[in-house]
């Protein structure tokens, strides 16, 4: 027994130095003791590959983590930029259209404002021009060429009297007012005067014609000889010394203006018709 014990002791003492690689592979605890004794407290070189591998793996993991984070951030921003559904896409399109329409509306409002301003300026100019034109071209009211109650026709004024008197007195009345008993030379003048007369049973008005000086030689009050005339059929007939002419308008509608003269006694009382030149200078 003591021999065996001595043999085991010798073997323990004389065992050759163990291979460091074997201890690294077996991972026995005593390797650490031996290693510390033989390397003065330094770790064996067999641990260096594990350290490098760990560092590389850690770096690789960090790199993957950074790449994943960056990818998630990029995808998140891209997803936010893109519509998530057709409805959202339509909404975005509508919003863009609204923005465009709003911009166009602002432009149109500005254009409208400019046009209204231009319209206002034009109104001011038109008002000024109208005022200037009214000042320069104020129409002058033409003076009536005939006095009140006188009627104008082709350069003459005619007065239809309501008073009744003889032929000589009628001529005197017209003379006082700057005229004479009417001298009727044309059918147009005759018709104009006859239309002024009222209708009646026998409305007869003195006119400026007489044959008092020479029978059947009718002359106007200005001395000119009558040519033609507008006598009724069968007139003048000089019945009962009829030397003065008068114009008659009755209720008979068939009578016409160009056949309305009759001769009558000059002393009879009749209304009369005066004529004078119109004041055409005004």
CATH number of 150-277: 3.10.100.10
Q: Is the pLDDT of residue 78 over 60?
A: no
Q: How far apart are CA 61 and CA 69, in angstroms?
A: 12
Instruction: Compute the residue count for the chain.
Output: 282
Compute the distance between CA of residue 222 and CA of residue 6 in angstroms, rounded to an integer: 199
- Across 16-25, 49-58, 78-87, the highest mean pLDDT is recorded for 49-58
Residues 6+ apart with CB under 8 A from 125: none
Segment 155-191, tens digit of pLDDT: 999 999 999 999 999 999 999 999 999 999 999 999 9
CB neighbour class for 165 (10 Å; exposed up to 12, middle 13-18, buried from 19): middle
Q: Note the pLDDT tens digit of each residue in 43-55.
A: 554 556 667 777 7
Q: What is the pLDDT of residue 139?
A: 53
Helix (H, G, I), strand (E, B) or coil at 105: helix
Q: How many CB atoms lie within 10 A of CB 258?
A: 14
Whole-prediction pTM value? Answer: 0.51
**Phi and psi dihedrals of 269, rounded to 5?**
-90, 125
Domain ranges of the chain: 2-43, 150-277
Interatomic CA distance for residues 217 and 211, integer angstroms: 5
Both tokens assigned to 261: 């003269």
- H or E segment and range at residue 273: strand 273-277
Report phi then psi at 247, rounded to 5. Answer: -105, 130
């Amino acid at each position: 027994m003591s021999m065996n014990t001595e043999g085991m002791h010798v073997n323990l003492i004389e065992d050759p130095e163990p291979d460091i690689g074997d201890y690294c592979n077996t991972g026995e605890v005593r390797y650490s003791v031996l290693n510390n004794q033989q390397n003065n407290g330094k770790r064996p070189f067999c641990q260096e590959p594990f350290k490098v591998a760990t560092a590389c793996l850690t770096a690789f993991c960090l790199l993957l983590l950074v790449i994943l984070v960056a990818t998630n951030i990029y995808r998140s921003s891209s997803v936010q930029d893109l519509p998530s559904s057709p409805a959202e896409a339509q909404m975005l399109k509508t919003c863009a259209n609204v923005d465009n329409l709003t911009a166009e509306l602002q432009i149109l409002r500005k254009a409208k404002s400019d046009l209204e301003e231009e319209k206002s300026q034009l109104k001011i100019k038109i008002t000024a021009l109208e005022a200037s034109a009214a000042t320069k071209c104020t129409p002058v009211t033409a003076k009536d060429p005939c006095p009140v109650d006188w009627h104008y026709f082709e350069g003459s004024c005619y007065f239809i009297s309501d008073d009744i008197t003889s032929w000589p007195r009628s001529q005197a009345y017209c003379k006082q007012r700057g005229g004479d008993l009417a001298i009727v030379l044309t059918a147009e003048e005759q018709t104009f005067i006859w239309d002024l007369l009222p209708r009646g049973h026998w409305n007869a008005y003195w006119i400026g014609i007489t044959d008092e000086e020479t029978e059947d030689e009718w002359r106007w009050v200005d001395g000119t000889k009558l040519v033609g005339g507008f006598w009724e059929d069968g007139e003048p007939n000089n019945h009962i010394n009829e030397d003065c002419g008068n114009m008659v308008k009755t209720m008979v509608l068939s009578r016409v203006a160009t056949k309305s003269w009759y001769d009558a006694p000059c002393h009879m009382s009749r209304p009369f018709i005066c004529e004078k030149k119109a004041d055409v200078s005004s």
